[in-house]
Amino acid sequence: MTKQHFLRLRLVATVLMFTALSALPLPVQAKNLSALAQATAADDSTPLSMNNPDATLGVALTSDNGQYSLRLTTADGALLTTIALGVKTDKFDFSRDVTLKSVSQPVDITEDYTALHGKSSHIINKGRAAIVTFCDPDGVRMDVEVRLYNDGLAFRYAIPNTTAEPLTFVAEQTAYTISPESRRWLQRYLTSYEADFPLQQEVRQGEWGYPALFETSGRFMLITEANATRQYCATHLSNSKVADTYTLTFPGAGEGAGVGNVQPQWRDAWQSPWRVVIAGSLKTLVASTLVEDVSDPCADPSKYDFVEAGRASWVYWAYNHGTKDFKVCCDYVDLAAEMGWEYVLFDWEWDAMTNGGTLQDATAYALKRGIKPLIWYNSGGPHNWIPATPRSRMLTHENRVKEFRWLKSLGVAGVKIDFFESDKQQMMQYYLDILDDAAEARMLVNFHGATVPRGWSRTYPHLMSMEAVFGAEQYNNSPRMTPIAARLNCTLPFTRNVVGPMDYTPVAFTNSQHPHTTTYAHELALSVAFESGVQHWADRPSGFRELPAEPKQLMKDVPAAWDETVLVDGYPGTHFVVARRRGTTWYVGGLNGTNEKRDFTVDLSFLPKGRYHALVIADGTDDKSFATSRRRVTATTKLRLSTLPQGGFTLKLTQ
């Protein structure tokens, strides 16, 4: 058991009735724990039916011949989804023919915490929680904890009893039934999660990665999971059998060849990750922190005073093998220093650096210029076939401790670790082992070639970002990105970036191997539109140095961590306008995802009272020019802005 488990709250009041839930913490306010314990004596026949605190959502437990489900509805009774419940192990089967033993009375819960980076710095989310207890025909018990927050539903399974031999989880019957009339934005399941989110004009069957976005009668749901631990694998969705039913599915046998079993195993009291449905308007989705809210809180926030969100120059997008060249690396250090960015990333092949210096020389040069270096690693091992170096130096605890000690001696601030290629249980354990050792070494972490965020940035604040996105580096790989980028850029804020930091590596004015057709103003707006604890700006040094004064200054000023995020306007794939606040300054990023000109009316009602100076940087007369203006605005102002096809705009609002 790790140090985090020893330090977290234990639910002492529920030791007898809820052994599993006392062994693993609930991140709720302590004042609610005793209420939850006192409520567990509810009559066995009591059904679960509760609303969230703001009465926008309801959840109810239903049954059909021993198969239990949750029904998620809106305030007016519209059905969003029916969720079949069930877990099957080699020893117990909770998929059907179970007996409902008890349902606790709902109690209020509140998440209230500070985040070191992300879409909001102070997070408050209110909800209600209840525990449903089932028994299988042999009397073996399983609990289902259900929480309904103001922005969605979360539930998880717990098997409190230990067994002499480890449990093997054969399958999970959790399945979401979606109305056939729903619109769907789904990504084909890949272990890297690097694929498009096209709107399905007709329902397609197959396997799909998280998050999965659905619209039913103007209401939206985003399905994902949170708080993955060492006890289970990550899952994804499959509607291969029934088109409108998406069942949780384990990783495939071919993932991470030679690493672990497809079916997870656990010996002691067990809990699943949270199954999460963020639900409501698009504004609710974009602002939601539900994935982090239900994840384990940081055990000791005082240990993370080394964490600093920031901006980085990044060599790979323009020069795939640029880190081999000491002088090229120094140019990127100089760029970061000129722009006032905090970091520089030395990507793959730094172990082969020549042309006047080695990694040691490059890190020394960066530190001399006041820039903190980050460096890349191949996660290595039998789970990936990629030979890129340095490889396998993160595989074991002993390797990591040795490597981190060396990196600290060089002044390196953090690591980017790539090519995990699997969602198996053993890979979840590998991620968490890296995070544990990096925390001890006070090193920042960025996972690439990785799974989607599952709330770990709350538990481990030094996890700054994760890739899991079809990002700007795809301009290197094929012509596929060029025609879809604008649409995808207007879809990711409603899908992938909702669930956690996204290392898309945005902002490129020049071209990589394959050209971009988004305008310069669109590219600039990506600096605000996308959220990541470290933003790796993609373009080559000349792309930033040759910018006009106002766009260049904005790239110097725009932060990487936010105090507040508000969706102003948008719809998946067509357009996106977001306002983000840092201190008293607001930034607005607007994107046109279509191939037609678009006029925007930007409602500034999110502003507090007072008058603001607005810097407006929009499309100019062509795709490579900007139109810049300044004006005075208030919360009652509605700015009218026009964009070119695949265009955009950025606002900076100061008092």
Per DSSP, the three-state class of 270 is: strand
Torsion angle in degrees (nearest 10) through CA of 190, 120, 304, 420:
0
- pLDDT value at residue 187: 98
Report, at the CATH architecture level, how domain 301-558 is classified: Alpha-Beta Barrel (3.20)
At 65, the pLDDT band (50, 70, 90 cuts) reads: confident
Judging by DSSP bridges, how do beta strands 310-314 and 343-346 pair with one another?
parallel
- pLDDT value at residue 32: 40
Place of tokens 């090519």: 419
CA angle 207, 209, 211 (to 5 degrees): 135
At 96, the pLDDT band (50, 70, 90 cuts) reads: confident
Question: What is the phi/psi pair of residue 501, to 5°?
Answer: -60, 145
- pLDDT value at residue 201: 85
- pLDDT value at residue 47: 86
Average pLDDT over residues 574-581: 98
> Does pLDDT of 539 surpass 50?
yes
Average pLDDT over residues 305-323: 98
- Which is nearest to 334 in space by CA: 360, 292, 366, 300? 366
Helices and strands counted in the chain (H then E): 15, 36
What H or E segment, with its residue span, contains residue 122?
strand 122-135
Higher pLDDT, 31 or 357: 357
Structure tokens at 533: 């604890």
Structure tokens at 26: 């609930």
Distances (CA, A) of 570 to 281, 372, 483, 603, 642: 11, 36, 20, 12, 15
The whole-angstrom separation of Cα 652 and Cα 588 is 7
Report, at the CATH architecture level, how domain 587-654 is classified: Sandwich (2.60)
The whole-angstrom separation of Cα 120 and Cα 634 is 23
Handedness of CA 68, 73, 79, 80 (dihedral sign): negative
Residue at 150: amino acid letter: N
The answer to whether the CB of 275 falls within 8 A of the CB of 482 is no
The whole-angstrom separation of Cα 72 and Cα 121 is 29
Average pLDDT over residues 397-419: 98
Judging by DSSP bridges, how do beta strands 534-537 and 310-314 pair with one another?
parallel
- pLDDT value at residue 33: 36
pTM: 0.94
Of all residues in the chain, the percent with pLDDT exceeding 70 is: 93
Q: Which residues pair with 215 in a beta bridge?
A: 183, 220
- pLDDT value at residue 46: 58
Distances (CA, A) of 561 to 308, 405, 493, 564: 9, 28, 16, 9
> Does pLDDT of 468 surpass 90?
yes
Compute the residue count for the chain.
655
- pLDDT value at residue 164: 79
The whole-angstrom separation of Cα 102 and Cα 108 is 19
Q: What is the pLDDT of residues 367-392, one digit of tens each?
A: 999 999 999 999 999 999 999 999 99
Place of tokens 């949750």: 70
Average pLDDT over residues 630-649: 98
- pLDDT value at residue 217: 87
Q: What is the pLDDT of residues 20-43, one digit of tens each?
A: 333 333 333 333 433 443 444 434
Question: What is the phi/psi pair of residue 168, to 5°?
Answer: -110, 125
The answer to whether the CB of 250 falls within 8 A of the CB of 180 is no
Helix axis angle for 549-557 and 326-339, nearest 10°, is 90
Q: Which range is least confidently modeled, 129-133, 134-138, 520-524, 539-543?
A: 134-138
What lies within 8 Å, CB to CB, of 323 at 6+ separation is 315, 316, 329, 346, 347, 348, 349, 350, 353, 376
> Does pLDDT of 277 surpass 90?
yes
Q: What is the pLDDT of residues 138-189, one digit of tens each?
A: 899 999 999 999 999 999 999 998 777 899 999 999 999 999 999 999 999 9
- Which is nearest to 82 in space by CA: 225, 250, 235, 277? 277
- pLDDT value at residue 259: 78
Average pLDDT over residues 47-63: 96
The whole-angstrom separation of Cα 445 and Cα 550 is 32
> Does pLDDT of 44 surpass 50?
no
> Does pLDDT of 619 surpass 60?
yes
- pLDDT value at residue 163: 76
Q: Which fold has domain 3-293?
A: Beta-galactosidase; Chain A, domain 5 (2.70.98)
Higher pLDDT, 13 or 430: 430
Average pLDDT over residues 321-335: 98
Residue extents of the structural domains in the chain: 3-293, 301-558, 587-654
- pLDDT value at residue 496: 98
